């Protein structure tokens, strides 16, 4: 796929006003020596408000810096499938004026945001990672995009996704830290854009592991909210585990982005939406955490296991009580319940994908991947009772987790089985990610580990509707590293 054309003059510079960490990242990134720890040096976008108000920096300046970096590096990374440079410049100029007048719309006024290409934007096509839908324009914003525009965000471009946010990567997107490795999927371009330093924030989605795993591979923060917490209207992911995901360079910006969406457009219909303070929740150490192996453990690399063991030792040293299947029979029983989480999710996804895949096959079967057609065949072999049985099993598993959480503050595990695979035939195994999606609970990937000299995320999983509590725990763990 051809890379986006860039309009107007480009200038050299860094994306972030706090330049040293970004420069350090760029200095080492292309030598494959960046580590996840580098990411913790980034300053949050909202921390730049004083510089914006005095004119020492501005959203317009940050945009031009970002465009210069994108022009230089995105042919290699391939994060974007579309850019609206003129529209972004207008929005950034308006934001700059508001900051100088002391009237920003929100702490994120002027922040650059990328949008996964299954989420509608009024000024760019929504191609869903499929040749069938390339160039398709809806001329409206999804709820999440509308909310961010109301908060003053600058929507810069659409980011690459796998086909229908599910299977094959139509665009060629690479890991920003090693071009021979996958960025993960399905929020491939969003994770790559943030990991490359192109953007502070990007929207993704998650049904299985499409936000948390790419965040792990690309060295950024990734957040999957409680199911229904963020309004996904206008996003072409109608599945029963789908959530708007957020990828960001800092934990604070991720939270501010989530609250900007929820406070303006709420949650999914029938859901009140994400609650909590508008600012990043105060750090709060978890008292007791469940250590989950999941199906991912047996597929994890030795380096990932060693990194997790070290993280576990650090958390224990900080006074956090950790329990696993060997110390608590209830955890062992729960591990048994989620042992088939991925297969169970595939069953539900197949049925839920029967429409629209049947219409796509009728329209242009040659433009639908073999993997998606196989999913359609699976759905056609199912009965309504099969789907109902799967839903009932999911309800039982969710109740078991809720019961387990009466004695614990959350769970901790890896965000991926190891470093990003050195292959473009896979976006990585979702074994560590699917439990939180199946459970409908919040999860966050923290870029604090490494494997093979590449980023690796530590995943925290919270209680349903305990997103603010989860961020408080995540903040404490990041601060005490």
49 Cβ neighbours under 8 A, 6+ residues apart: 99, 104, 107
Contact 429, 299 (CB under 8 A): yes
The angle at the Cα of 275, spanning 342 to 111, to the nearest 5 degrees, equals: 85
Selecting among 95, 106, 144, 186, the annotated active-site residue is 186
327 is annotated as an active-site residue? no
Selecting among 46, 210, 216, 300, the annotated active-site residue is 210
Q: How many CB atoms lie within 10 A of CB 339?
A: 13
d(CA 373, CA 163): 12
The tokens describing 404, both together, are 């387990």
Single out the residue of 187, 123, 196 nearest to residue 160, CA to CA: 187
**What does residue 208 show for φ and ψ, rounded to 5 degrees?**
-120, -65
**H or E element, residue 450:** strand 443-451
Q: 3 to each of 58, 172, 478, how far by Cα in Å?
A: 27, 10, 36
d(CA 211, CA 257): 15
Selecting among 60, 106, 116, 158, the annotated active-site residue is 116
Helices 384-404 and 329-337: crossing angle, nearest 10°? Answer: 160
d(CA 66, CA 16): 9
Can you say how many angstroms the Cα of residue 2 is from the centroid of all Cα atoms in its chain? 24
210 is annotated as an active-site residue? yes
Contact 445, 464 (CB under 8 A): no
Contact 460, 411 (CB under 8 A): yes
Contact 296, 431 (CB under 8 A): yes
**H or E element, residue 378:** helix 370-380
The tokens describing 322, both together, are 């950790």
Q: Give strand ranges (E) for 210-279.
A: 221-224, 243-248
72 is annotated as an active-site residue? no
Single out the residue of 187, 192, 216 nearest to residue 449, CA to CA: 216
Contact 192, 218 (CB under 8 A): yes
Catalytic residue IDs: 116, 186, 210
């Amino acid at each position: 796929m051809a890379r986006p054309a860039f309009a107007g003059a480009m200038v050299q510079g860094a994306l972030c006003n706090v330049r040293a960490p970004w420069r350090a990242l760029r200095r080492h990134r292309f030598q494959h020596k960046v580590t996840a720890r580098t990411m913790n040096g980034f300053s949050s976008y909202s921390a730049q408000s004083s510089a914006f108000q005095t004119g020492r920096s501005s959203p317009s300046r940050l945009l031009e810096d970002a465009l210069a970096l994108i022009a230089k590096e995105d042919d290699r990374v391939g994060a974007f499938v579309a850019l609206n440079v003129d529209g972004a410049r207008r929005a950034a100029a308006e934001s700059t004026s508001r900051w100088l007048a002391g009237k920003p719309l929100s702490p994120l006024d002027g922040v650059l945001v990328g949008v996964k290409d299954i989420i509608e934007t009024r000024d760019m096509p929504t191609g869903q990672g499929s040749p069938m839908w390339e160039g398709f324009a809806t001329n409206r914003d999804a709820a999440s995009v509308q909310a961010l525009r109301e908060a003053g965000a600058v929507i810069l471009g659409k980011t690459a996704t796998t086909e229908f946010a599910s299977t094959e990567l139509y665009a060629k997107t690479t890991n920003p830290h090693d071009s021979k490795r996958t960025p993960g999927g399905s929020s491939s371009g969003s994770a790559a854009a943030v990991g490359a330093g192109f953007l502070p924030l990007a929207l993704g989605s998650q049904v299985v592991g499409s936000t948390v795993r790419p965040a792990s591979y690309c060295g950024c923060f990734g957040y999957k909210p409680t199911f229904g917490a963020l309004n996904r209207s206008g996003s072409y992911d109608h599945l029963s585990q789908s959530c708007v995901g957020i990828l960001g360079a800092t934990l604070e910006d991720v939270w501010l982005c989530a609250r900007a969406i929820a406070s303006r457009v709420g949650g999914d219909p029938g859901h009140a939406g994400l609650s909590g303070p508008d600012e990043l929740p105060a750090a709060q150490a978890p008292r007791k955490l469940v250590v989950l192996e999941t199906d991912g453990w047996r597929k994890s690399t030795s380096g990932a296991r060693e990194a997790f063991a070290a993280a576990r030792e650090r958390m224990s040293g900080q006074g956090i009580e950790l329990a696993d299947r060997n110390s608590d029979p209830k955890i062992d029983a729960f591990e048994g319940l989620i042992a088939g989480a991925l297969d169970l999710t595939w069953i539900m996804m197949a049925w839920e994908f029967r429409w629209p895949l049947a219409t796509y096959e009728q329209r242009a079967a040659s433009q639908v991947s073999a993997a998606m057609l196989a999913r359609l065949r699976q759905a056609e072999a199912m009965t309504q009772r099969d789907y109902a049985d799967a839903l009932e099993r999911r309800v039982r598993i969710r109740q078991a987790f809720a019961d387990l959480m009466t004695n614990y503050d959350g769970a901790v595990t890896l965000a991926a089985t190891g470093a990003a695979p050195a292959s473009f035939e896979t976006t990585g195994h979702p074994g560590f990610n699917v439990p939180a999606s199946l459970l409908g609970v919040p999860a966050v990937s923290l870029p604090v580990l490494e494997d093979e000299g590449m980023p690796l995320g530590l995943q925290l999983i919270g209680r349903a509707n305990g997103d603010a509590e989860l961020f408080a725990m995540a903040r404490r763990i990041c601060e005490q590293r």
